[in-house]
Amino acid sequence: MTKNIIIAIVGLFALYLLFTAFTLEETSYKPLTISLYKLGASIFAGLFAAYLFMTFILPVIGDKTSQMILGDNNETVEEDAFRPARALVAQGEYEEAIVAYRVALIKEPENRMGWTDVAKLYAEKLEQPSLAIATYQEAITAHEWPEDDAAFFLFRISEWQINDLEDSASGIVTLQEIRAAYPESRNSANAGQLLRQLGVEPT
């Protein structure tokens, strides 16, 4: 919502610049000053228009083009449940995007990318790694994942615990959880290597 207000203010400012630039009286200002003012106002308005096109219009055109290429008159293109969430991310509305992602994840709890996007928003955009960890912990219990997917969640949880929360003890426990859940596997070996780097001998 805040970003939309800022966009509206900038748009009004661009219109104001254009209006004043092209209504200046040559008797009051030097021709060179008027020309520079017009050029600056036109460039500013053009950049703002390009931003609006890239942010709001181009994604819609892309969706319509994809539907035209991939679908035909006898087929119904399946709605992407996560598209509204991604649109909100593009607009910088991160908290609203998380809500939209969670609505989509109720329908598709097996969508690993959806869970990953939510966790990244918490960790990278909102700077709340504890909520990112909680998101992956929720994801693990929400669906029966293949080994590599579940291990991916656990590795990321351990990384945030160690690096962002500075909680090495919890990170070590998570790595040990990987070794216990997937013994004699590549994921177990990778967890063991990380434990050694932390000064802990894998068991």
pLDDT at 78: 40
pTM value > 0.75: no
Residue 85 pLDDT more than 60?
Answer: yes
Q: In degrees rounded to 5, what are phi and psi of residue 30?
A: -70, 145
Question: Contact 102/142 with Cβ under 8 angstroms?
Answer: no
Residue 73 pLDDT more than 60?
Answer: no
Q: Where is pLDDT greater, at 19 or 179? A: 179
Question: Contact 89/121 with Cβ under 8 angstroms?
Answer: yes
Q: Are residues 65 and 86 in the same domain?
A: no
Task: Tell me if 133 is assigned to some domain.
Answer: no
Token pair belonging to 66: 């994809």
Average pLDDT of the residues of the chain: 84
**Can you tell me which residue has the tokens 């219990």?**
141
Residue 56 pLDDT more than 70?
Answer: no
pLDDT band with cut points at 50, 70 and 90 for residue 24: low
pLDDT at 7: 73
- How far apart are the C-alpha atoms of 67 and 78, rounded to whole Å? 9
Task: Tell me if 134 is assigned to some domain.
Answer: no
Q: Are residues 13 and 56 in the same domain?
A: yes
Task: Tell me if 136 is assigned to some domain.
Answer: no
Task: Tell me if 138 is assigned to some domain.
Answer: no
Task: Tell me if 38 is assigned to some domain.
Answer: yes
Q: Per residue in 146-160, pLDDT tens?
A: 999 999 999 999 999
Domain count of the fold of the chain: 3
Q: Which of 9-18, 128-137, 176-185 has the lowest mean pLDDT?
A: 9-18
DSSP 8-state secondary structure symbol assigned to residue 79: P
Q: Are residues 173 and 191 in the same domain?
A: yes
Q: Where is pLDDT greater, at 28 or 167? A: 167
Residue 138 identity (one-letter amino acid): E
Token pair belonging to 45: 């308005």
Q: Are residues 6 and 64 in the same domain?
A: yes
Task: Tell me if 137 is assigned to some domain.
Answer: no
- How far apart are the C-alpha atoms of 14 and 26, rounded to whole Å? 21
Q: What is the span of the domain harbouring residue 59?
A: 2-70
Q: Per residue in 101-115, pLDDT tens?
A: 999 999 999 999 999
- How far apart are the C-alpha atoms of 129 and 40, rounded to whole Å? 43
Residue 82 pLDDT more than 80?
Answer: yes
Q: Are residues 65 and 15 in the same domain?
A: yes
Query: What are the C-alpha distances in Å from 133 to residues 24, 67, 118, 153, 188?
Result: 58, 36, 10, 9, 20
DSSP 8-state secondary structure symbol assigned to residue 165: S
pLDDT at 45: 73
Task: Tell me if 64 is assigned to some domain.
Answer: yes
